[in-house]
Chain A
Amino acid sequence: MRQVTRRELLGWGLTGGAAALLAGCATPGTTSVNTQPVVPAAAGEKVTLTYWAWLKDLQKVADVWNAKNPNVQVQVSWIPGGNDGGYQKMYSALAAGGGPDLAQVEMRTIPEFMLVNGLVDLERYGVSEHADKFDQTLWSQVSFAGGVYGIPQDSGPVGMYYRPDLYEQVGVEVPTTWAQWAEVAPAFREAGVYIDSFPLDDTSAFTAHAMQAGAVWLRSAEDGWVIDMAGETTLEVARFFDQVIDDDLVTTAANPYTPGWYAAAAHDQIASLVSASWGDALLQSVSGAEGKWKVAPAPRWEHGYGSSFIGGSTSAVLANSKHPREAMEFAVWMNTDPEGIDAMIEHSGIGWSPARDYIGAAREKPSEFFSGQSYNTEVFQPATQQQNPDWQWWPITQQTFNILGDGFRRKATGGTLVDAVVAAEERTIEVFRQKGLTIRKAER
């Protein structure tokens, strides 16, 4: 028999190895944990849960729980925030068959994780008995197709921060409707001030405006997804802001909470800011802002709701968790128990708590920064009662946001927001179909 040369051997090894690798390396996330048997509760032995989150000092919150539950210890690892690298880390861990028990996942990202089979359906572990402890709008944003895929952790009801001194200076009332808002805006331009800024590359603000106006961009029906992004409600909002930008009533040069915006705000060039409740902490970074700002309810559209939510995250149980039941119990405690909420506000500075009956002791008091206004109970607590209950997130939310943002950027070079919304709807449908998901346009 002819002897085999090293080169041949190496060649075979390589081809064989590559073939085995390709065969074994199926595209990650194609099997579901929710069709496998329920993992039973730990039988008395000590369990250690890991939690990946980008909230700061969350371990201090977990320690409050750890002291009382010697058998279920929670260890928190800090990760970069969501799309800044956190999700990438989670997706890779899931693809490799590992990952933590719990992870911080934004509301809008829950369906994306479901698409890669990354989350445990908590309905199977009896989460419904805790449903009434949570804000109903937020609870509906984590419920899909008869399952619950995350425990709401924080959110941000929208209100309007404003500078009473600047409003007084130009002599206009604080607007309560968007129509009034557009009427008073030119007065600020004469004083070299902008009433607000409109971010062209971060579409979450625009999405919140559409949500407030009553739009529901996507909803899951029996026969698949129904898209109504370019419906009349959203187009009206887009037309409104097209006009406002064309008239130079808002600045598009500096997005809220970016260095340029902080500089403009510190130089008294920003009169108000329609944003979420978590903006309160960020406003305190504006130099010399103490005592200058107050909070009012967000301006309203002619139809729709009084407020909307921007942002918001959940504690989600990831697919490879060995102890989903214990993980869920910890998450429910942390996000609804007054002790957990107060600790999260104190140590982690979370956004609005999703608990139905408790906003946090620190938030019930008047605020020194907002010149003694009890803005949380006055503005944001009522705002959580005036939400669009039908809003749902969808499996490619981030991609739709990016497509929409890429369209919005063309506003700077002659495009319109209306065109961007219409194009984003078409593109979203295409992407859904590429993934094999069923989608149809709403009748309109």
Chain B
Amino acid sequence: MTTTTTRTGATTGAATRPSSRPAKRRRTAVDRAPWILVGPFLALFLLTFVLPIIVAIGQSFTTVTRAGLFGEQGVTTGFAWFENYRIALEDGNFIASIGRMLLFGVVQVPVMIIAATVLALLLESASARWPGFFRATFFMPYGIPGVIATILWSFLYVPGLSPIIDLTETLFGFTPDFLGAGTVLWSIANIVTWTYAGYNMLIIVAQLKAIPPEVYEAARVDGAGPWRTAWSIQLPLIRPALVLTTVFSIIGTLQLFAEPQLLQTVSPAIDSQFTPNLSAYTTAFAYNDYNVAAAQSVLIALVAFALSFVFLRLTNRSSR
């Protein structure tokens, strides 16, 4: 932009030159202003976001080999091509963890989005009582940090401590195993749904509130009942909010970390590579293999990107 301004300034006639000077100065000042304003953001963004990504990608293509018992006979660092990716992809447990998260997402995300939508529609319906109170109540779990929420729930899952298990044992003589190999994934899904349904509900409520009252009036004049209004007016109009919350949930699913990490202490079924993020964390900080961990992280990012992209493509196509 600057170059063009200078050039036009230089080629214009001598008569216009004196008057174009201050204008040019003003233009450059105007040009500079946004950069100065976004500067602090940009610096932090580059330093804490872009650079780590570049370094991680660089690390994922690096390999360190050691000679001797502990590398005392020399350590060499070299370019590894796709060796780290090969190691990551050949690791059956890592692939299994991605598969596990896909299964988790296919079940948990729809359940949560449907629950959030139903809650939002109920709160925004004409017959809702104390919507403000219930909105705050449904949202409250989101205010509890994930770590605390998991600890709270783990006390409801552990046999011998859980009042739920005590109750089912005395009433039905049946001992549910919340932490077994087949069930612990769904116990985690329960915690995640409990935490985030209220948050997603709030986003949907915000969009519902943005629907102009005229639309409702028109629907009423045309004889639409509450069901018809919800189905034909509200759901189509909150579509952007639903797409947004779903994409966030898909990304969140792949990044699942705190819940399984904490439940590990009470559930033998959760191994060190239960979720993709747990796997990368273990590789980096328990095994000190930063290079393979970087490759795993890049793979996780690619999968999250691909899934979000596919979902957005699908929703765009069907809306056309």
Contact = CB atoms under 8 A, between A and B. Distances in A.
A200 B268 contact: yes
B272 A116 contact: no
Nearest to A29: B288
B249 to A, nearest CB: 28
Contacts of B290: 27-28
Interface in A180-205: 199-201
B282 to A, nearest CB: 7
A340 interface: no
A26 B77 contact: yes
B144 to A, nearest CB: 20
Give the 7 A-B residue pairs with the shortest CB-CB distance, closest first: A436-B65, A263-B160, A201-B268, A88-B285, A114-B70, A406-B271, A402-B272
B64 interface: yes
A30 B75 contact: yes
A259 B158 contact: yes
Interface in B5-32: 6
Interface of B: 1-3, 6, 35, 46, 50-51, 54-55, 58-59, 62, 64-72, 75-77, 87, 93, 155, 158-161, 180-181, 264-266, 268-273, 282, 285-291
Interface of A: 2-3, 5-6, 14, 17-18, 21-22, 25-32, 34, 83, 87-88, 91, 111-112, 114-117, 144-145, 199-201, 220, 224-225, 252-255, 258-260, 263-264, 267, 395-396, 398-399, 402, 405-406, 409, 412-413, 431, 434-438
Given A3-B2, A22-B58, A32-B72, A409 B269 contact: yes
A172 B180 CA distance: 33
A30 B161 contact: no
B87 A117 contact: no
Given A34-B72, A201-B270, 12 more contacts: A6-B35, A27-B59, A27-B77, A27-B291, A29-B288, A87-B286, A91-B285, A145-B72, A254-B159, A258-B266, A434-B87, A436-B65
Nearest to B265: A258
A430 to B, nearest CB: 9
Contact of B271 (A111, A405, A436): A405
A107 B260 CA distance: 28
A226 to B, nearest CB: 11
Contacts of B159: 253-254, 260, 263
A225 to B, nearest CB: 7
B180 A412 contact: yes
A405 B272 contact: yes
Nearest to B51: A21
B287 A398 contact: yes
A398 B93 CA distance: 17
A263 B286 contact: no
17 contacts: A3-B2, A14-B46, A14-B50, A27-B62, A32-B71, A32-B72, A32-B75, A87-B285, A117-B75, A253-B268, A259-B266, A260-B160, A260-B161, A406-B93, A435-B65, A435-B66, A437-B71
B10 to A, nearest CB: 11
B54 A263 contact: no
Contacts of A201: 264, 268, 270-271
Contacts of B35: 6
Contacts of B264: 201
Contact of A259 (B55, B160, B285): B160
A399 B273 CA distance: 12
Nearest to A395: B70
A174 to B, nearest CB: 26
B293 to A, nearest CB: 11
Given A395-B70, A436-B65, A436-B67, A260 B287 contact: no
Nearest to B291: A27
Given A3-B3, A27-B77, A436 B265 contact: no
Given A199-B268, A436-B67, A25 B55 contact: yes
A321 B270 CA distance: 38
Contacts of B72: 32, 34, 145
Contacts of A116: 288
Contacts of A405: 271-272
Nearest to A225: B69
B268 A22 contact: no
B54 A406 contact: no
Contacts of A144: 69-70
A157 B76 CA distance: 40
Nearest to B281: A88
A116 B270 CA distance: 28
Nearest to A34: B72
B33 to A, nearest CB: 13
